[in-house]
Amino acid sequence: MTVLSRRQFVLASVTMVAGATVARAAEYPARPITVIIPYAAGGAGDTIIRLLQPAMERDLGQSLIIDSRAGGGGTIGAQAVAKAAPDGYTLMLGATNNFVINQFLFPKVSFDPLAAFALITKVADVPSVLYASLSAPATLAAFVAAAKANPGKFSYASPSVGTTPHLAVERLKQMTGIDLVHIPYRGAPPAMQALMANEVELYLAGCGVGRNQVEAGKVRALAVASEQRVPNIPLPTADESGVPGYVTANWWGLAAPNSTPQPVVDRIRRAVVAALAEKTVRERLDLLGFLPGGNTSQKFLDESRVEAKGWEETIARGKLVID
C-alpha cells in the first residue's frame, strides 16, 4: 500500500480541486444565467442587457434571466450578486456607482466592489454631456466665468442625490471653484424638463438623454466630458472648453462574484464582445448615445481602481457622504 506524505496529500487534493474547477468551466454554461440589474426596470442598464440578450443567448446556448433589484442606491442588487455562488450563473450589470462610488458615498455599504466582484468587461460607456438652459451662457467657458462672477446664482439638476450626474457636477465645481445650487429630481426626465423650463441652468447626462431636445432647440449642449471628441457627438471636449482634465462618464459593466473561475469569466466576456460586434447592436447603441465596450477583465479592473480613487477624493472633498 502506498502511503502519501502530508505534502503529497495536499498537492494531490489541490490538483483534484483544480481539475474539477476546469471541468466545470469547460461545461459552462449548463443552465440559464441570471443577470441582476441593481436598478428599476426600464432604465439604461435594462435597455443594454435586453439589446445584447438575443446574441448572447445564441452564443452561450442558454437563456439570460433579467432580474431588476432596485433599492439602496444600487447597493441591494449588488450585495445579492456579491453573496451569490461564484459559478457564473449569477451576474451583475452595474453602473459606475456600483463599482467605484457607492463604497465611499454610503458608509453602511459593507463591501469593496472591486474585491467582492470578478470584473468581466465594461459593456458600454455613456459619455457625459453638459447641457444648459437657453437662458444660460452659450459656452462652457462663458458659463464658468458667469458662475464665478455670480456665486450661488446658477443651479444644476440631477436625477437624484448621489447619482453620477450629481457627483460629476460637484467635481466640476471643485475643479473650477464655482458655486452652483444642487436641485435633485426624481429621475432623468423631470431633470431635463426642469432644464427646458429654465428652472435650472445646467444638467449633466448622457448624449442620448438630451439629443432630441438639443435638435429641437429647447436646450443647449455645451461640451462632452471625455478625453477626446466622441464620434457622432459634434461637441468640443470640456478640456477644449476651458476645463482641462474634466472627464466623467456613467458607464455600465458586467461582473460575477469574486472567485468565479477565470475560464468562466473569459467565456462570458467573449459572448459580450461577440454581441457588441453585431451591426444592429452597434447601431442601436449609437442611437442611444452609448459607446460599445468589451475590454479585458484586467483592464476593466485596472481602470476601475484608478477611477475609484478619483471619486473617493471628490466625495471626501465635497463632504458628500450619505447616511
* Model pLDDT for residues 210-233, shown as the tens digit of each residue: 889 999 999 999 999 998 888 878
Q: What is the pLDDT of residues 129-185, one digit of tens each?
A: 999 999 999 999 999 999 999 999 999 999 888 889 999 999 999 999 999 999 999
Comparing 13-27, 142-156, 203-217, 287-301, the range with the smallest average pLDDT is: 13-27
Q: Sorting pLDDT into bands at 50, 70 and 90, what band is 14?
A: very low
Assess whether pLDDT exceeds 90 at residue 39. Answer: no
**Domain limits, the chain:** 31-125+251-318, 128-224
Mean pLDDT of the chain: 91
More confident of the two residues 159 and 51 = 51
Predicted confidence at residue 273, as pLDDT, reads 98
Predicted confidence at residue 6, as pLDDT, reads 58
Is there a shared CATH topology between the 31-125+251-318 domain and the 128-224 domain? Answer: yes
Given a contact cutoff of 8 angstroms between Cβ atoms, the answer to whether 88 and 29 are in contact is yes
pTM for the full model?
0.85
Q: Sorting pLDDT into bands at 50, 70 and 90, what band is 74?
A: confident
Predicted confidence at residue 186, as pLDDT, reads 86
Given a contact cutoff of 8 angstroms between Cβ atoms, the answer to whether 165 and 250 are in contact is yes
DSSP string, 279-296: HHHHHHHHHHT-EE----
**CATH architecture, domain defined by 31-125+251-318:** 3-Layer(aba) Sandwich (3.40)
For 116, phi and psi rounded to 5 degrees? -80, -20
Predicted confidence at residue 196, as pLDDT, reads 97
Assess whether pLDDT exceeds 80 at residue 70. Answer: yes
Mention every residue, 6+ apart, whose C-beta is less than 8 A from residue 85.
Answer: 257
Q: Residue range 286-293: average pLDDT?
A: 89
d(CA 36, CA 29): 17
Q: Residue range 60-70: average pLDDT?
A: 95
Assess whether pLDDT exceeds 90 at residue 110. Answer: no
Give the three-class secondary structure for 199.
coil
Assess whether pLDDT exceeds 90 at residue 192. Answer: yes
Q: Sorting pLDDT into bands at 50, 70 and 90, what band is 25?
A: low
Q: Which fold has domain 128-224?
A: D-Maltodextrin-Binding Protein; domain 2 (3.40.190)
